Amino acid sequence: MLVAVCVKAQEAINIKQTIIEELRNASGFRKAVLLYELSEAESNMSIDKTINYALHTITYLDSISGRPFDFSNPGYESDSILKLRAAANYRLGKSYLALLKENSDTTKNAFYTNKAGYYLNVSLTIRQFQKDSSGIAKDINVLAFIEAIKGNRRKADSLFEKALKIYEKLHDKTGIAIVASYIGLSLKDSVATQYKAEMNFKTAYQYFIETGDSLNAVKTMAELAELYFAQELFNEARKQLLPALKFCIKHNLHVTESWIHGQLAKIYEKDSVYSLALMHLKRHNKIMDSVLNEKNITHLNELSFRYENDKKDLRIIKLNKQTVIDQYIIFITTGILLIGLYYLYRNHRLNKKLTERNIQIHNQNEQIKHQKDLIEEVHENLYSSINYAARLQMIIIKGSITAENILKDYFLIYLPRDVVSGDFYYVRDYYDDCRVVAVADCTGHGVPAAFLSVLNITFLNEFFNDIDHKPDPATLLEVLRIKIKNTLNQNGDVYSSTDGMDIAIVIADRKKRTASYAGAYIDLFIVDDKTKKVKTIKSVHNPIGWYNKESDFSSTELSLNENDVLYMFSDGYTDQINADVEKFTKYRMRKIMEEFAPYDLKTQKQLYIENFINWKKNVDQVDDVLLMGVRAHCLYD
C-alpha cells in the first residue's frame, strides 16, 4: 500500500515537470487546465503551491470569461469552464482546511475556515447548477466538517447525513469512506466522542482498502495513530506505525518515513524510553534535512525554467529586431536605387521632395526629444516627491523634539526597505514628568505603509495632547485600535480593510521612577546589566486594527535596574532571509543580545548593523527594519 503512495508521489512530480514544459506554448482554456493540473500535482506535497496554482486557475478563467464568477447567474459560462472552476474552488477549500492542521497559530483558524467555506460554496453552487451529484456530495461533506470546527454539531451531522445519502444512492464506496473519515476527524478532539471517531476511521480504512485507494488508507492510518496517541494508547498507535515504517524503509518512502519517526519519537518519550525517542527524532530530522534539500533543488529547477523562458523571449525579441533591421536595410537599398533613377529624370522634383522629407524628419526628431524630456521630467518629479515624502515622514516621526534630546544613552537602527517606511519610533515627554518610548510597524512597506505610519503618529499625538494624567499603556492601545477601526471602516467584512499596526510602548513615571509596558505583536526584551541574560515580556497577539479573535490588551509593570537595557524592534530584522532562505528569527536575536550585552550602546548599534549585513549578504532586504535599545535610567533622567 505504501509503495503505491510512493508511486503516486513520483507520478505527481513527473506530471508536474510535463505540465511545466507544456505551459510554455499553451494559451486560452488549455492554460487554465494546465494550471489546475499543477495544483493537483502539488496537492500532496505543498499546500502553499497548491493554493497558488488553484488561484492562478481561477484568475485565468476570470480573464477568459471577462469577469469574476457570478453566484446569481452561473449559466453565463460554458460547461467546461464551470466544471474547471468548481474543481479549482474545491481544491482551494480543501487546501485552506489543510492549513489548519499545519498551522500552530490557532488565531488564524477562523480565517482559514472562512476562506475554505467561501470557496466550497462557490464549488457547490456550480455543481448544483450542473446537477453533479457526486460533486455536490463532496462539497457538502467538507462543509459539514467546517461546521463541526465552528462548533455547529447539529448542522454538521445534518450535512454529513446528506452527503452519505447521496453516496449510498450512487453506490460509491470511496465516497462513503471519505464521509466516514471526515466524521472521524470532526469527533476525534473531544474525549466524549473519541470512540465514535475510532469506529468511523476504521470503517473508512476498510472501505479504502476494498477500493484500492492506498493514499487515503495511509492518511486514515495516520489519523488513527494520532487518535490513539491522544488517548495515551501508545501500543495501539505503535501497531499502526511500526508496520508502515518497515515498508517505508524498504521502499525508500522518505517523507512518510520521516513523519512516522516523528510520531514514534513522541510515543517513546511519553513511555520514558528516551534512547528510542532520541533515535527516532534524529532519524526524523535527518530525513527532513534531505527533503528540504530536494525542495531547494526543485525550486532551482523552477527558476531555471523561468530563466530559459526569459532567454527564449529575448531570442524572439532579438530575432524580431533583426528582421525589422533586415527589412529596413532592404527598404533603404531599394529607396536609394529608386532615388538614383528618379534623380536622373526629375532632378528638380527630387530636391523638392528631399527638402520636405528633411523637414518632416526634423519635426519628428523634435517631437521625440520633447516626449523624452517630458518622461524625464515626470520621473524626476516622482523621485523628488517620494524623497520629499521621506523627509516629511522623518520630521513627523521626530516631532519638535528629537530622541537625542530626550534619551541620553540609547541607539536606533532605522533602515526602510524603500525610500519611505511603515516602521516608526515615538519618543516624547508629556504631563508632569512622564515619558513615552515606542516602536511600531504598520502593515506593508513603502508609500502605503508610510501613510499608515503618519496616521498612527497623528493618533498618538492627539491622545497625548488631550490627556492630563499618566495613562495605562494597555488603555492607550485600546484607544488606538478603536481609532484605526473607525477611520479605516473595518467591520470584519470580507471586503473591508485589514490594515493596522504592531506596536510596543513603554510609559515611565519620572518622579516615581517606575515604568509599564504594553504590546501588540511586538515583545519587549530586557537584558539584565549584571547577568547579561535576556528576559522577554510577551505582547498580546492582536494587532492595532480589526482582528477576528479580538482580545484585551494588558499592561506589565517593569522591575528595572538602572543599567538594564530595553530592546524593541519590528519584525524586519528577524524575518530577514539569507542565501539559504532561512529567517534570522527571534531565537538568534536573543543569542546576539546576550553576545553584544557587554558593549556600550554605541558599539552595539554598529554590531547589530554589521550582523544584519553579514546575514543577508547579497539577498534583498525583505521589509523595513527598526531596532531601538534604551538604557533603563534614560526612561527617568
Residue 634 confidence (pLDDT) above 70: yes
Residue 221 confidence (pLDDT) above 90: no
Residue 360 confidence (pLDDT) above 50: yes
DSSP string, 285-320: HHHHHHHHHHHHHHHHHHHHHHHHHHHHHHHHHHHH
Res 569: pLDDT: 97
Residue 61 confidence (pLDDT) above 50: yes
Shortest CA distance to 569 belongs to which of 593, 540, 602, 545? Answer: 593
Residue 220: how many CB atoms within 10 A of its CB? 28
| Cα 27 from Cα 52, distance rounded (Å) | 19
Res 312: pLDDT: 45
Res 16: pLDDT: 56
Res 402: pLDDT: 64
435 forms beta bridges with 429, 508
| Cα 455 from Cα 521, distance rounded (Å) | 19
Give the burial class of 527: count Cβ atoms within 10 A of its Cβ; 0-12 exposed, 13-18 middle, 19 or more buried.
buried
Average pLDDT over residues 84-93: 90
pLDDT tens sequence across 330-358: 455 555 555 555 555 555 555 566 566 66
147 neighbors 161 (Cβ within 8 angstroms)? no
The 8-class DSSP code of residue 393 comes to: H
Tracing cell 536573543 back to the chain, one arrives at: 590
Residue 136 confidence (pLDDT) above 50: yes
% of the chain surpassing 70 pLDDT: 73
| Cα 558 from Cα 536, distance rounded (Å) | 11
Average pLDDT over residues 101-118: 74
Res 519: pLDDT: 96
Contacts for 49 with CB less than 8 Å, ≥ 6 apart: 38, 39, 42
pLDDT tens sequence across 254-278: 666 777 788 788 887 877 777 777 7
The conformational region for residue 553 under phi > 0 = left, psi -120 to 50 = alpha, else beta, is: beta
| Cα 449 from Cα 446, distance rounded (Å) | 6
pLDDT bin (cut points 50, 70, 90) of residue 628 is very high
End-to-end CA distance of the chain: 72
Q: Which residue has the higher pLDDT, 281 or 558?
A: 558
**Topology annotation, domain 401-635:** Phosphatase 2c; domain 1 (3.60.40)
Residue 523 confidence (pLDDT) above 90: yes
Map residue 418 onto helix, strand or coil: coil
Res 374: pLDDT: 66
DSSP string, 569-633: E-HHHHT-B-TTS-B-HHHHHHHHHHHHTTS-HHHHHHHHHHHHHHHHTTSPP-S-EEEEEEEGG
% of the chain surpassing 90 pLDDT: 26
Contacts for 93 with CB less than 8 Å, ≥ 6 apart: 115, 116, 117, 118, 119, 120, 123, 139, 142
437 neighbors 413 (Cβ within 8 angstroms)? no
3-state SS, one letter per residue, for 442-492: ECCCHHHHHHHHHHHHHHHHHHHHHCCCCCCHHHHHHHHHHHHHHHCCCCC
Task: Classify domain 134-231 by CATH number.
Answer: 1.25.40.10
pLDDT tens sequence across 439-482: 999 987 667 778 888 888 888 888 888 776 778 899 899 989 88
